Amino acid sequence: MAKQQTLKTEVHYSGITLHTGLRAHIRLKPAPVNTGFVIVRIDVDGKPTGKALATNVIDTHRATTIACGNSPVHTVEHVLAALYASEVDNVIIEMDGPEPPIVDGSSRPFLEMINKAGISKQRTDREICVIKEAIWVEEGESKLIIIPDDLYRISCTVKYGVSILDTQYRSLEINTQSFFDELSLARTFCIYDEIEGLMKAGLIRGGSLDNAVVLKGDAIICKDEMRYPDEFVRHKMLDIVGDLSLVGRRLQGQIIAIKPGHPINVSLALKIIEKMGY
């Protein structure tokens, strides 16, 4: 049985956030066994904490939002994906605001932070969530199913209906190396026609081509080149890794995702917790 792991030392980063557009700091710190991923709002009186679990999610509109006492933290999925893919089980995530830096819109900067900190094995065995029967959720055109498998795999199809470029499919075994090589550089993206509505809703105030790719008809607007030919589906898979880490254990099963998004990802994580009786 594999042992739990944490970081060897603490690491921090500061940068602009996507939705609020403010400068924020994030600090990742080693934590004792059975801590899981715990977020701390160090800027709020009493420094409230919140476990990164699906049962503690309070909003999934455009990003995954977790409750820290009465203070929310949102857009945590890219950090959580990097922690999960690095096989970290226990970590304290300190934040001085409601959102971590978006950096380039991918998980790679967080992987670099974790690699800088190093990984340390702990003495207690890890508990694994082994999927024994199919569990699924359906919301509108989105479907997410997890079925038994020897490993953790994600097979994902996306289609937004605004361009032929937006139909993409990929299937991948998720481990530290495959996540680093195949998913971690995939950036956040949005559909051009949605930008005005998001801005009116007070979101994406820090959004720019430094941290997002924009899809407009058959044109892709981004800084530099696309990082992968199918960057959109890969970012959706990255989001699934982050959101499904909210089960709170390592997963063994294959996820088949059709048009996934934060709401359905979190719904599946909740249903897994419920079915497994955690």
Instruction: Give the residues lining the site for Zn ion (CB under 5 A).
Output: 188, 239
262 is an active site residue: yes
In the complex, the smallest distance separating the C-beta of residue 45 from Zn ion, rounded to whole angstroms, is: 30
Write the CA distances from 21 to 12, 100, 191, 224, 273, integer angstroms: 19, 10, 19, 22, 34
Any bridge partners for residue 93, and if so which? 28, 39
| 233: Cβ contacts below 8 Å, ≥ 6 apart | 156, 157, 158, 168, 169, 170
Closest CA to 191 of 172, 165, 210: 165
In the complex, the smallest distance separating the C-beta of residue 260 from Zn ion, rounded to whole angstroms, is: 11
C-beta of 231 vs 239, nearer to Zn ion: 239
C-beta of 20 vs 188, nearer to Zn ion: 188
In the complex, the smallest distance separating the C-beta of residue 78 from Zn ion, rounded to whole angstroms, is: 6
C-beta of 79 vs 113, nearer to Zn ion: 79
C-beta of 75 vs 86, nearer to Zn ion: 75
| Phi then psi dihedrals of residue 94, to 5 deg | -90, 135
In the complex, the smallest distance separating the C-beta of residue 123 from Zn ion, rounded to whole angstroms, is: 34
Tokens describing residue 201: 């809703």
C-beta of 19 vs 153, nearer to Zn ion: 19
Catalytic site residue from 74, 78, 235, 262:
262
In the complex, the smallest distance separating the C-beta of residue 81 from Zn ion, rounded to whole angstroms, is: 8
Please provide the DSSP assignment of 237-276 as one string: HHHHHHHHGGGSSEEEEEEEEES--HHHHHHHHHHHHHHH
In the complex, the smallest distance separating the C-beta of residue 77 from Zn ion, rounded to whole angstroms, is: 5
Name the closest residue to Zn ion (Cβ): 239
CB contact at 8 A, 30 and 116: no
Q: Which helix (H) or strand (E) holds 231?
A: helix 231-244
C-beta of 30 vs 105, nearer to Zn ion: 105
Q: What is the bridge-based pairing of β-strands 168-173 and 152-158?
A: antiparallel
Task: Find where tokens 């079925």 sit.
Answer: 147
What is the spatial distance between Cα 31 and Cα 44, in angstroms, rounded to a whole number?
A: 21
- For the four alpha carbons of 130, 134, 137 and 143, in that order, the dihedral sign comes to positive
Catalytic residues: 262
